[in-house]
């Protein structure tokens, strides 16, 4: 009886084990490394080179702030070092990298203030923050409470720090005067985070005692006015600032005049009313600011006035402000408000052409850029820079025609770039354009852009020799080699023009500019700090991404996969000009292809190279070589089954991210069906199909997305390629193919000791390989064959499910 | 034993054997039966986690992320808004320290304006992020903070839960949502945090969390939370990377999520095809009664009235 109960319990336990699903291998928000050979949203990182005028091959898909900079360089202008710093600050802000890129360049204003406090006032209470863990000091709650705004701006902390240093020198670090000043300033900043004074109202410094020196009494008047300002008592604050502005003895007279206007502005912007309802207020404030700007006493404070005017006019008359800003950016030199000007101009332009400023600023406009080019003729009409910008970005025939007309009219460099970038062999007056392009010297900021399009047009017109020469000149006479995106674009064109396999391989191997997890979709390198892993192996792999080896971009990978015969692939694998990682990729692919195509000769010839580049495979390939003809193919299948990194295609970029011999949880194992690459409808675990697409700037080289066979192939080789590719595309997805091969061998060789193991691996492949609706059937068949014919074997016991 | 009793017993045995045989030969089908059965029983026995509190939340909720949002066009009886109110950042690895009372974190409140009509149901969202390396733009006092009052630091969960729970005081906030893609090693910490937050909220206030699809399908750590801790876990059906293929396949299977807390709602985005297919009912295999689920919708850009209207029109029970 006990035995019976035990038996029933065991059966029930086993049934439950089958019934209750095992934990799924789904991941927690996985990110896959993205390999970027040519940047499309912004220039190469770091952006310092671009800011300094090394523009590479300018892409119309860059965010507009970069194109503005290019336009000014093309027009003969420059940016001084201060302006370049401002550009970098704007880009770092927009790309959300201030904390990394500007680290050490600019101190956090609040930190400057605290440092000054520690330095001059040891022993007294610090300026409080709302919360030690709040990383936004100076921010206070809005009236609704739903968000915070920057109540105490950076300049408040910087001015306080500067004044503290001055007063410390004047009165002494341990003086009562300084302590009094500091207590008052602490009280002022107490209002920043929305804290209140003890009476529930503003936290106000005490009125200055008469015995204090005059300058400290003036300071105190300003501090009290500021406390009212930060506590949002606008009437009192404005009145007090106005009073100070009338006091010629106060060192705060000029600033107070500006802050009085700023008080009015703050009152409007923090009100819940829509901005449109404040048009008249904005107009009045703008008039006041224009008056202030004219006053000689305001000379040093003009940048502050400009910023406020920019803020007001942005809202008051966006179109007029956009036109004014375009003019300022195009012509003004040594501009201390360039960052704000460029920020405002591009935002206003985005709005004027219905683009999303948020999207454009951070990730670049989508393609096709500048929808409805014709519709925005008015936007273009009053600024030559805006006209150029939208025309260069637009991808329609009207824009192409306009670029040519404008170039003919002006013969200017910006319009030459625009016209060339849109030209085709059918463009009227192409020889004139190409002649003008030939005149551009290597020291021109447009040299690489012009050279690339010149070479492209020469190639498209059939003059391959001239195109090759233009490319060689550009690469040898310029900084292209230090600009990955430009270099890779030239190499892509040179790949297309290769006269032999050696030339092809020289150009096909390209070092990506960035390998990144790209968590924010901005195509930026991950911060170096992101490699702060305790696991040494993971850390090493992460760090290695910052100096990636040469890899294949989509064009090269697709041509090598689909456009050359297996024998050429084998030849390429033995090319010593290629780095080892690419030779391994080639030899593995060639060997798998040879097996799939039953090309025993090539497969056997490749074994020594395959074994030397991948010693892990040596024992398997040895068995393959030593097998007789009846079992050699199965030996290869058996080996491939154990090595999910093997596939017949060439990987794009970093490729598979799992150790050889280990299964990838995201189905990146072996291969999917190679049929109809162009018709693949997105994600099916088909990694080759996803990454081999010709897109982005590669479309300027392969405009119809069509990849031809390399020109150095003979007709016979092309026929072989087509025959082989046709055969490969007829093959099933890997798990199904494995199943068919193993079933056939098992039928003929039921007693071969490898069969149970092979069946186990077939079932495994149907789980994490590239599956299709038929795979389930193969999985079940393999499972049933294993359990029926080979019961109680170790490999059978390791196979509790089919998939 | 009477004949009918014997007959009934025999039938039960035969049925059991048939199921046993089928399960042995076709484990996939057996699993499917089991999932189906467990779902039914979960629904009948009230395994859903404290959904009473969440019952009054709107059927459609728009996520308002860190960008200026003017949602005054939303009528209170048609939808709600879950707005990102705070982002809290940790350095990776710190959450699992045995003694975490000294662990610091950075809190950034919402900086972008949010405009809503007065009676609109609001949910305050706290996003928790774990980063590697030093915190970007962090402030570190240059010397030991001698001025600060020294207090005995509380446990991390306690300090953090206070930061989250204080959002209940914002006007119009009817619920709290936490958005934290906790890794497996962080589940224990997250579980403690959720319990801590729950304790600081009024008994009637719903606590919602966003959930990676894997939490709802495979890794069932949520089911180990004490009953009543959370009121819903919103399966995030976007920004899933290659995992989206698995999730899409799961949705097409017609099954609901095995984890009960995940069954009441869905997290969708306006810019992903899978979300669009779910929203428009074009996803083959998706049961029609899924329209009874509450949806949270994310937009990669600020909401406009036409974009919101489109959602309101298509997602009706």
Domain definitions of chain B by residue range: 48-133+149-314
- Give the A window 524-543 contacts with B, CB below 8 Å: 527-534
Among A9, A20, A28, the strongest candidate for a mutation testing the B interface, having the largest count of B CBs within 10 A, is A28
* CB-closest option in B27, B104, B220 to A18: B27
Instruction: Please give the average per-residue pLDDT across A52-59, as a whole number.
Output: 96
pLDDT at B136: 39
Instruction: Please give the average per-residue pLDDT across A28-37, as a whole number.
Output: 69
Instruction: Please give the average per-residue pLDDT across A413-432, as a whole number.
Output: 95
Residue for token digits 């025609």?
Answer: A401
- What distance in Å separates the CA atoms of residue A50 and residue A70, rounded to the nearest whole number? 8
- What distance in Å separates the CA atoms of residue A161 and residue A117, rounded to the nearest whole number? 8
- Give the A window 98-117 contacts with B, CB below 8 Å: 98-100, 108, 110-111, 114-115
Phi, psi (deg, nearest 5) at residue A36? -115, 115
Instruction: Please give the average per-residue pLDDT across A495-510, as a whole number.
Output: 97
Of A33-47, A566-580, A784-798, B152-166, the poorest mean pLDDT is in B152-166
More confident residue, B92 or A765: A765
CB contact under 8 A, B241 and A29: yes
pLDDT at B93: 58
Of A84-88, A664-668, B65-69, B125-129, the poorest mean pLDDT is in A664-668
- What distance in Å separates the CA atoms of residue A337 and residue A89, rounded to the nearest whole number? 12
pLDDT bin (cut points 50, 70, 90) of residue B55 is confident
What's the complex ipTM?
0.74
First to last CA, chain B: 53
pLDDT bin (cut points 50, 70, 90) of residue A55 is very high
CB contact under 8 A, A134 and B83: no
Per DSSP, the three-state class of A703 is: coil
CB pairs under 8 A between A and B: 176
Instruction: Please give the average per-residue pLDDT across A538-563, as a whole number.
Output: 88
pLDDT at A743: 97
CB contact under 8 A, B147 and A125: yes
Q: How confident is the prediction for chain A on average, in pLDDT? A: 88
Locate all alpha helices (DSSP H) within A174-252, ordered by sequence: 176-189, 214-230, 234-245
pLDDT bin (cut points 50, 70, 90) of residue B30 is very low
More confident residue, A133 or A546: A546
Per DSSP, the three-state class of B176 is: strand
What HEC string does B56-108 produce? CCCCEEEEECCCCEEECCCCCCCCEEEEEEEEEEEECCHHHCCCCCCCCCEEE
| Distance (Å) of CA A433 to CA A422, A467, B197 | 11, 15, 68
Instruction: Please report residues of A whose CB lies closer than 8 A to that of B20.
Output: 11, 15
- What distance in Å separates the CA atoms of residue A559 and residue A676, rounded to the nearest whole number? 15
* CB-closest option in B109, B181, B241 to A32: B241
Residue of B302, B295, B309 lying closest to B58 (CA atoms): B295
User: Which class does domain B48-133+149-314 fall in?
Assistant: alpha beta
Domain boundaries, chain A: 34-72+367-529, 107-132+150-232, 548-731, 736-797
State yes or no: pLDDT of A684 exceeds 60.
no
State yes or no: pLDDT of B98 exceeds 70.
no
More confident residue, A781 or A535: A781
Per DSSP, the three-state class of A96 is: coil
CB contact under 8 A, B219 and A18: no
Strand partners, B208: B177, B232
| Distance (Å) of CA A730 to CA A597, A691, B133 | 11, 21, 49
pLDDT at B266: 94
A177-205: per-residue pLDDT in tens? 998 999 899 899 888 877 555 566 788 99
Phi, psi (deg, nearest 5) at residue B58? -60, 160
Instruction: Please report residues of A whose CB lies closer than 8 A to that of B219.
Output: 23-24, 26, 28
pLDDT bin (cut points 50, 70, 90) of residue A13 is very low
State yes or no: pLDDT of B141 exceeds 70.
no
| Distance (Å) of CA A232 to CA A183, A192, A238, A702 | 21, 10, 10, 60
- The answer to whether A511 and A484 have CB atoms below 8 angstroms apart is yes
Angle between helices A447-460 and A430-438 (to 10 degrees): 140
A91-147: per-residue pLDDT in tens? 998 888 877 788 777 777 888 888 888 777 665 545 444 344 455 678 888 888 888
State yes or no: pLDDT of A366 exceeds 80.
no
Among A30, A122, A135, the strongest candidate for a mutation testing the B interface, having the largest count of B CBs within 10 A, is A135
Residue of B62, B38, B215 lying closest to B125 (CA atoms): B62
- Give the A window 755-794 contacts with B, CB below 8 Å: 776
State yes or no: pLDDT of B19 exceeds 80.
no
pTM of the model: 0.77
Q: For residue A142, what are its two tokens? A: 């809005």
- What distance in Å separates the CA atoms of residue B87 and residue B85, rounded to the nearest whole number? 7
State yes or no: pLDDT of B72 exceeds 50.
yes
Residue of A544, A508, A525 lying closest to A36 (CA atoms): A525
């Amino acid at each position: 009886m006990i035995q019976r109960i035990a038996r029933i319990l065991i059966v029930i336990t086993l049934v439950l084990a089958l019934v209750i699903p095992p934990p799924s291998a789904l991941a927690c928000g996985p990110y896959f490394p993205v390999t970027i050979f040519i940047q499309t949203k912004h220039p190469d990182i770091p952006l310092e080179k671009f800011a300094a005028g090394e523009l590479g091959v300018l892409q119309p898909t860059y965010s507009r702030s970069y194109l503005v900079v290019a336009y000014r360089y093309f027009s003969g202008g420059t940016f001084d070092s201060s302006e370049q710093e401002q550009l970098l600050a704007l880009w770092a802000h927009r790309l959300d990298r201030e904390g990394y890129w500007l680290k050490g360049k600019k101190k956090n204003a609040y930190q400057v203030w605290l440092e000054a406090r520690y330095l001059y006032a040891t022993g007294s209470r610090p300026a409080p923050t709302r919360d030690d863990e709040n990383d936004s000091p100076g921010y206070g709650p809005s009236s609704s409470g739903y968000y915070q705004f920057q109540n105490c701006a950076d300049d408040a902390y910087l001015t306080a720090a500067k004044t503290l240093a001055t007063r410390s020198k004047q009165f002494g670090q341990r003086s009562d005067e300084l302590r009094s000043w500091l207590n008052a300033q602490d009280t002022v900043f107490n209002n920043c985070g929305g804290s209140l004074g003890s009476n529930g109202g503003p936290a106000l410094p005490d009125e200055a005692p008469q015995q204090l020196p005059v300058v400290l009494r003036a300071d105190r008047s300003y501090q009290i006015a500021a406390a009212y300002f930060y506590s949002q008592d606008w009437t009192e604050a404005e009145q007090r600032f106005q009073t100070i502005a009338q006091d010629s003895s106060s060192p705060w007279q000029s600033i107070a005049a500006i802050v009085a206007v700023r008080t009015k502005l703050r009152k409007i912007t923090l009100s819940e009313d829509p901005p449109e309802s404040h048009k008249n207020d904005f107009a009045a404030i703008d008039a006041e600011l224009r008056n202030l700007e004219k006053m000689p006493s305001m000379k040093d404070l003009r940048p502050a006035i400009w910023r406020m005017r920019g803020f007001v006019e942005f809202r008051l008359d966006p179109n007029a402000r956009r036109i004014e800003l375009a003019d300022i950016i195009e012509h003004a030199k040594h501009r201390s408000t360039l960052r704000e000007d460029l920020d405002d101009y591009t935002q206003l332009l985005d709005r004027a052409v219905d683009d999303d400023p948020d999207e454009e600023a951070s990730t670049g406009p989508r393609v096709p850029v500048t929808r409805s080019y014709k519709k925005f003729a008015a936007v273009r009409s009053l600024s030559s820079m805006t006209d150029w910008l939208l025309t260069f970005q637009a991808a329609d025939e009207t824009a192409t025609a306009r670029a040519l007309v404008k170039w003919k009219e002006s013969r200017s460099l910006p319009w030459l770039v625009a016209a060339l970038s849109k030209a085709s062999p059918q463009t009227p007056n192409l020889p004139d354009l190409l002649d003008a392009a030939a005149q551009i010297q290597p020291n021109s900021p447009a040299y690489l852009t012009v050279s690339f399009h010149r070479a492209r047009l020469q190639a498209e017109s059939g003059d391959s020799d001239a195109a090759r020469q233009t490319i060689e000149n550009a690469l040898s006479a310029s900084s292209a080699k230090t600009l990955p995106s430009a270099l890779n674009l030239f190499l892509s064109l040179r790949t297309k023009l290769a006269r032999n396999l050696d030339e092809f391989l020289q150009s096909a191997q390209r070092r990506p500019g960035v390998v990144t997890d790209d968590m924010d979709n901005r195509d930026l390198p991950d911060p170096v700090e992101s490699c702060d892993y305790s696991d040494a192996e993971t850390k090493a792999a992460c760090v290695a991404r910052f100096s990636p080896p040469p890899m294949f971009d989509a064009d090269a990978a697709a041509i090598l996969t689909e456009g050359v015969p297996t024998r050429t692939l084998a030849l390429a694998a033995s090319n010593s000009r290629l780095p080892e990682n690419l030779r391994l990729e080639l030899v593995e692919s060639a060997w798998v292809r040879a097996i799939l195509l039953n090309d025993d000769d090539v497969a056997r010839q490749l074994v020594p190279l395959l074994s030397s580049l991948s010693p892990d495979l040596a024992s398997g390939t040895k068995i393959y070589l030593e097998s007789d003809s009846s079992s050699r193919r199965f030996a290869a299948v058996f080996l491939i089954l154990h090595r999910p990194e093997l596939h017949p295609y060439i990987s794009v970029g970093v490729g598979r991210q799992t150790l050889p011999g280990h299964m990838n949880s995201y189905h990146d194992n072996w291969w999917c069906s190679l049929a109809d690459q162009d018709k693949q409808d997105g994600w099916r675990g088909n990694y080759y199909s996803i990454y081999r697409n010709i897109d982005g700037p590669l479309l300027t080289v392969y405009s119809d997305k069509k990849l031809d066979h390399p020109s150095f192939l003979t007709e016979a080789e092309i026929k072989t390629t087509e025959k082989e590719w046709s055969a490969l595309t007829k093959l099933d997805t890997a798990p199904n193919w494995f199943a068919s091969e193993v079933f056939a061998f098992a039928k003929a060789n039921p007693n071969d000791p490898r069969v149970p193991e092979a069946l186990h691996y077939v079932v495994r492949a149907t789980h994490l390989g590239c599956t299709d609706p038929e795979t389930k059937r193969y999985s079940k068949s393999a499972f049933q064959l294993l359990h029926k014919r080979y019961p109680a074997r170790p490999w059978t016991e390791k196979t509790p499910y089919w998939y | 034993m009477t004949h009918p009793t014997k007959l009934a017993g025999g039938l039960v045995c035969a049925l059991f054997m048939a199921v046993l045989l089928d399960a042995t030969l076709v484990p996939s089908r057996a699993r499917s039966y089991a999932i189906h059965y467990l779902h039914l029983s979960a629904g009948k026995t009230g395994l859903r986690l404290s959904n009473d509190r969440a019952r009054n939340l709107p059927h459609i909720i728009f996520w308002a992320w860190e960008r200026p949002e003017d949602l005054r066009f939303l009528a209170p009886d048609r939808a709600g808004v879950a707005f990102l109110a705070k982002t809290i950042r940790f350095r990776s690895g710190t959450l699992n320290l045995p003694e975490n009372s000294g662990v610091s974190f950075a809190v950034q409140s919402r900086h972008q304006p949010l405009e809503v009509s007065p009676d609109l149901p609001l949910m305050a969202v706290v996003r928790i992020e774990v980063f590697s390396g030093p915190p970007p733009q962090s402030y570190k006092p240059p010397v030991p903070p001698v001025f600060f009052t020294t207090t005995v630091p509380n446990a991390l969960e306690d300090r953090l839960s206070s930061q989250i729970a204080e959002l209940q005081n914002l006007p119009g906030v009817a619920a709290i949502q936490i958005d934290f893609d906790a890794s497996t090693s962080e589940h224990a910490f997250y579980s403690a945090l959720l319990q801590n937050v729950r304790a600081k909220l009024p008994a009637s206030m719903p606590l919602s969390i966003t959930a990676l699809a894997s939490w709802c399908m495979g890794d069932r750590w949520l089911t180990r939370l004490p009953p009543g801790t959370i009121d819903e876990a919103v399966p995030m059906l976007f920004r899933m990377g290659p995992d989206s293929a698995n999730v899409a396949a799961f949705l097409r299977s017609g099954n609901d999520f095995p984890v009960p807390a995940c069954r009441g709602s869905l997290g969708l985005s306006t810019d992903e095809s899978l979300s669009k297919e779910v929203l428009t009912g074009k996803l083959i295999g998706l049961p029609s009664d899924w329209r009874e689920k509450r949806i949270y919708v994310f937009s990669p850009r600020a909401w406009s009235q036409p974009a919101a209207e489109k959602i309101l029109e298509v997602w009706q029970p």
